[in-house]
Amino acid sequence: MLNKNTLKFLYQDLDELIAQYRTNKIDRFSFVSEVERIKQANEVILNGNEDFAELVENALLEKQYESLKQRTKTALENIKAPSSALKVLILSGAGISAESGVRTFRDSDGLWEEYDVMEVCSVKGFERNPQLVADFYDARRRDLESKQPNLAHNMVARLKRNYPKQIDVPTQNVDDLFERAGCPNVVHLHGTLTDLRCEECKSVFEIGYKSQIDVICPRCQSSNIRHNVVMFGEEAPMYQKLQQSINECDLFVVIGTSGNVINVAGYAQWFEYSLLNNLDPDDKLDPYFKVVYHEKATQAAEKIEVYIETFLSN
């Protein structure tokens, strides 16, 4: 499914180009060049939308302009039509769990000071020293056991329970604090710390907060197991779920992320409605969001909840 906001802008761009060309404001070469630019820059979208792809080809061939103009107008009206059920995407990062005491790499007293991230969180590091990586994640699980969900976790969980079909909750975090807050259907984009993965049969099974030492796969009895966290250099299959949510949702909410891993600033430009909550100002992120709260997630939680509920009620 295409992002309705992105598609709207593409239709508007094409419509404007046609108008300029037909009124001789741009020449044939400029017109074709710009239409080709739209076509190349949005290849994925064109492949997924036959109607828009046909409009582009007709524009290039200078065919059926009046029909094309009317179809573009109709498409824009359909896209602008309000949905019967608005949807909200709440994407979170390390900042939301940092307030619960979960250590991050980027904090001043964080994991950077103890570990080289590429030695414990990358495919090459794992290949060089799998025991170091296993010890690292064992320590993360031990540390997580004593941590508790905070007000921001509880707020997101409450929204998800109250609006189960209208709220999507993908998170970059591998902890289980959303689940412990009672949040159903959390999408862990980078895996789950409290699970292990079997390298033989590929099954994923829960280990909780225990060490992986001497653990065997309950399905195939193999001892060839590893952490269930996506490493640098690996594909993150749950990103497909994130893309689906981005395509379907009307409000983009981001809590506690620098945007260094997922380009939230780029995604925010696709949305008419967006909200960012980070502790500190960031001129690489802030300008792309309509609403910005610079404070702890626990302090902003009530305002975020009110904003989302007000949005869904409209």
Same domain, 108 and 173: no
CATH code: domain of residue 297: 3.40.50.1220
Burial grade of 23 (CB within 10 A; 0-12, 13-18, 19 or more): exposed
pLDDT tens per residue, range 194-212: 999 999 999 999 999 999 9
Same domain, 111 and 223: yes
List, in order, residues 6 or more apart from 205 with CB less than 8 Å away: 195, 196, 198, 217, 218, 219
Q: Name the amino acid, one letter, at 115.
A: Y
Same domain, 118 and 252: no
Same domain, 130 and 153: no
pLDDT tens per residue, range 99-133: 999 987 655 554 555 788 899 999 999 999 999 99
Name the pTM for this structure.
0.75
- Count the domains in the chain: 3
Q: Which residue has the tokens 């994407």?
A: 91
Same domain, 160 and 219: no
> 57-66 contacts: CB < 8 A, separation 24 or more?
59/14, 59/17, 59/18, 59/35, 60/32, 60/35, 60/36, 65/18, 65/22
pLDDT band at 310 (very low <50, low <70, confident <90, very high): very high
Q: Does residue 294 have an active-site annotation? A: no
pLDDT tens per residue, range 234-252: 999 999 999 889 988 999 9
Residue that terminates a domain, selected from 229, 249, 277: 229
Same domain, 117 and 252: no
Same domain, 309 and 182: yes
Which of 153, 188, 190, 227 is an active site residue?
A: 190
Same domain, 90 and 179: yes
Name the residue range of residue 112's domain: 103-146+194-229
Q: Report residue 265 CA to chain centroid gap.
A: 11
**At residue 78, does pLDDT exceed 60?**
no
Work out whether strand 187-188 and strand 170-171 pair parallel, antiparallel, or are unpaired: parallel
Same domain, 242 and 291: yes
Same domain, 59 and 32: yes
d(CA 280, CA 286): 10
